[in-house]
Every structure is written in structure tokens, then in C-alpha cells.
Amino acid sequence: MKTLLTITPILAFSCGVAFCGPASAADADLPEAESWSLHGQFTLVEQYHPSFTSPYRGANSLDPGARGNETMDATLYAGVRLWPGMEFYANPEIDQGFGLSNTLGVAGFPSAEAYKVGESEPYIRLDRAFFRQTFNLGGEVQPLEAAANQLGGSRTADTIVITAGKFSVTDIFDANTYAHDPRKDFLNWTVVDSGAFDYAADAWGYSYGAAAEWTQSWWTLRAGLFDLSRKPNDKALVRGFGQYELVVEAEERHQLMGRDGKVKVLVFQNHANMGSYGDALRVAALTGGTPDTGDVRRYATRAGFALNAEQQMGDDWGLFLRASANDGSKEAYEFTDVNKSVSIGASVTGASWGRDKDAAGLAGVVNMLNADARDYLAAGGLGILVGDGRLSYSSERILEAYYSAALWTGINLTLDYQFVANPAYNRDRGPANVLGVRFHAEI
């Protein structure tokens, strides 16, 4: 640690010096470095499903009756450059609304705009407050276009970027060009993120931590350390890394037939008080009660991995694939009740039919449970999102399609449809047809 504290100012000074001196002709083509910025967004999602077959239901079941719910959020993205290479960002946000069935009943939940905490009245939170330090290591000087949480300017092709504070793990890890932003592309939880990536987060999806990204020409290596919640799916985090997640991701960039592509491999390990499904079942067998992982929690680890690939196939369309798995012997801690997941899809812009700012996508995802998790749910146990009181197991299969139409610059209206077979892994219930409308505006 002393060594790091000693060399960091030297690196910062050296990187700053690298950009001193007279401007070259190439510099004239680069955007001027912003000293501060303000951006904003507003998103409204309305989802509805008609009634579906349900011979029984449990505490965490999707309501089998016809039902509709809406969510709303409005975010301010404020950024300031503290000195060359160092930036600070803060994102206060107003939230309101509920996911379908209070965000319960489907492991691959239909709206990533729905938090696990619903409120009928608007409330404000500080979702992000973080520092970002960029060390330029050389290579071609590249433009950085101004965007939310990104000050306009430039940096070299080879960098080390350190981010620390409060933000979402998925701001940095498991990103995908075609499926990662529920305000603009797909909505389903296990399409926009790897289903078995149990990433550190409070009930709103954010954590305190730090991440480092080392980029060289065709590859990037990322590593991060983040606080976990006090208990699974909790509103409060354990500060100071008393319970924590380690995550590492390697990214490879390539060209296939002259088209850009990426492949990422991610591994994570959670360290926290968590319950084993087997222990919960054994205790329930002795007491005659319903198994509950909350009764058998002890300090343990839970690991997993994710493969994430994307490939541009034409000027206006591309394909993506995610595959992930985790230790299915212990309860899901933060994200959702998925032990294995595979998703594949395509995204296309409207350029070919004269609507450059429109976009459409089609994706399919299969979510699965390991044997211990199946037995736990079949005995009446409850997970983070699922638990019908009993279980006739089958993999959860979801198909999602959307069309996003640009109404004006920065304003889009999206129609979304999801077909959910075997919701919560139960072939006795469903299928559910989820219809959605999304309004998104940004400035």
C-alpha cells in the first residue's frame, strides 16, 4: 500500500506532463476537455400481463390474475473535472412505482427498471457518487464524447482507469453493446445482465467499492472489490468490506470479416453469511417445518463465472451471447435465483428502413437451477424472487422482442413483448405474456 501511495502521484504527474506542450494538428480534431457537465434522463415503464394458468401460488409467485404495474425514474448526472485525469460524478435519482407482483415471481424478471423496493410515492436517493482517475499510458490519442457520467475530452488508447465510491458493479463489468441498458434496449433482467452473475448490490442495484481497468490495444483486464448487503436482498450494505465480492473480467477485442467484436470472461466470488440449501432442508426435516436458508446462515463463499460475447454482423446489426453459472448449493445473495443461464439475441438499428435512430431487438434466454435449489423450492422454501410453495421443475424460458422508435432527438417510445414459459421454474404455472411500453427522454 505504501508503494502504491508513493507511485500514484508520480504517475499522475507524468501522465499530466504527457499532455502539456503545443497542440498538434491532430489535437485540433479532438473535442475540448469539459470541466463540468450536467445530463438528465427520465424513464417510465408500464407492463401488463393477462391472466394465466395457475393451480396454486406461493408467497413469491407471479400474480396469475390480469395485472399491470408501472415504474418511473428521473436521474441527474453531474460531473466535474477536479484535475487532469481525475473526475467526480454524482447521480441523485427520483424513483416511484412497482414491478409486476412487487418484483416477484420470475427469476428472469421482465423489467430491469423495477427495483426490489417499490413505493407508491416518489422518493429521492443518491444512487452514485464516485471518483474516476485515468492514467494515460500511451498510444493513439482518442476522443471521448460527452455523455452521462463521461466528461468530453480525450485519452490515449492505453490506459489504467480507477473508479472508487458508490456505483453499480454492472456499470463496469458484464457490459454489452447490444443488451445492457434497460432504458434503451432490452428490459429482461437476464438478458441485460448475465443471469448467474450474483453481483454485489443493495436492493436498488448499487454498492460501495473500487474497480481498476487496464487497457492495452486489443485487450482490457478489470478487477473490483465491492461491499455485499447485510443479508441477501437487503436494503443496507455492510460497509468496510466485512462482507464482500471479488470480481475479475478479461476482455478481448477483435475483428471478424472486418467487423468489430468482443469476448469477455468474468469470474466472481462472494464472501458473506449465507445459507446452504442442503442445511436448510436437513433442519426442516428434523423440525417438520418449511426450509429457510435464513435459519442456517454462516460465513461462506460462493463463486461463479460469466461468458459475454458480441459481434457486429453488418453496418446496422449485431449478435450477442451470454452464458453463466454459479455455485448452486447456496442461496442467491444479491441478484436473482439463477444457477445457470444462457441468452442469445440480435439487435438492429432502423437505418435500413430510413429510421436511423430507431432500434429493434430479439432475444431468448434459458434460466436453470441446480438440484439443491430445486429441492429447496419444492419443499416450500423461498428465494429472492421465486417460491410458489411447491415446484414441478422445468427451466425458465423467456423470449423478448422490442421496437424503440425515436420521436424526437433524445426522446424514444418502446413497445416490448415477453413470453415467459415456466415462470419461477414451475411448469404447473403459466405461460405468462408480458406487454410493455417504455417512454425514455434524455438531455
The CATH number given to 35-442 is 2.40.160.10
Q: Has residue 117 got a pLDDT over 90?
A: no
Return the pLDDT at 28.
54
Helix pair 371-378, 277-287: axis angle to 10 deg: 30
Q: Classify burial at 419, counting beta carbons within 10 Å of its beta carbon; exposed 0-12, middle 13-18, buried 19 or more.
A: middle
Verify cis geometry, omega within 30 degrees of 0, for the bond prior to 431.
yes
Q: What is the CA radius of gyration of the chain?
A: 22
156 Cβ neighbours under 8 A, 6+ residues apart: 18, 136, 137, 138, 139, 140, 141, 142
pLDDT tens digits for range 305-355: 999 999 999 999 999 999 999 999 999 999 999 999 999 999 999 998 999
Which pLDDT band, with edges at 50, 70 and 90, does 7 fall under? very low
pLDDT tens digits for range 390-418: 999 999 999 999 999 999 999 999 999 99
Which pLDDT band, with edges at 50, 70 and 90, does 27 fall under? low
Return the pLDDT at 233.
86
413 Cβ neighbours under 8 A, 6+ residues apart: 404, 405, 407, 437, 438, 439, 440
pLDDT tens digits for range 176-202: 999 999 999 999 999 999 999 999 999
Nearest to 113 by CA among 72, 76, 149: 72
Q: What pTM value is reported for the model?
A: 0.91
C-alpha cell at 143: 476522443
pLDDT tens digits for range 211-240: 999 999 999 999 999 999 999 989 999 989
Which pLDDT band, with edges at 50, 70 and 90, does 4 fall under? very low
At 193, give phi and psi (nearest 5°): -135, 160
Q: 290 to each of 234, 250, 277, 423, how far by Cα in Å?
A: 22, 42, 12, 22
Return the pLDDT at 1.
37
Taking the CA atoms of residue 86, residue 243, residue 117 and residue 105 in that order, the dihedral angle to the nearest 10 degrees is 120
Return the pLDDT at 216.
97
DSSP string across 232-244: TT-SSB-GGGSSE
Contact by Cβ (8 Å): 204, 127 = yes
pLDDT tens digits for range 62-87: 999 999 999 999 999 999 999 999 99
Give the three-class secondary structure for 199: coil
Which pLDDT band, with edges at 50, 70 and 90, does 24 fall under? very low
Contact by Cβ (8 Å): 41, 104 = no
- First-residue to last-residue Cα distance in the chain: 41
pLDDT tens digits for range 240-282: 999 999 999 999 999 999 999 999 999 999 999 999 999 999 9
Read off the pLDDT of each residue in 355-366 and give the average, rounded to a whole number.
Answer: 98
Domain boundaries, the chain: 35-442
Q: Has residue 5 got a pLDDT over 60?
A: no
Nearest to 113 by CA among 207, 185, 60: 185
Return the pLDDT at 327.
97
Distance CA 21, CA 7 (A): 23
Return the pLDDT at 29.
72
Give the H or E element holding residue 403: strand 396-408
Return the pLDDT at 8.
38
Q: Has residue 14 got a pLDDT over 60?
A: no
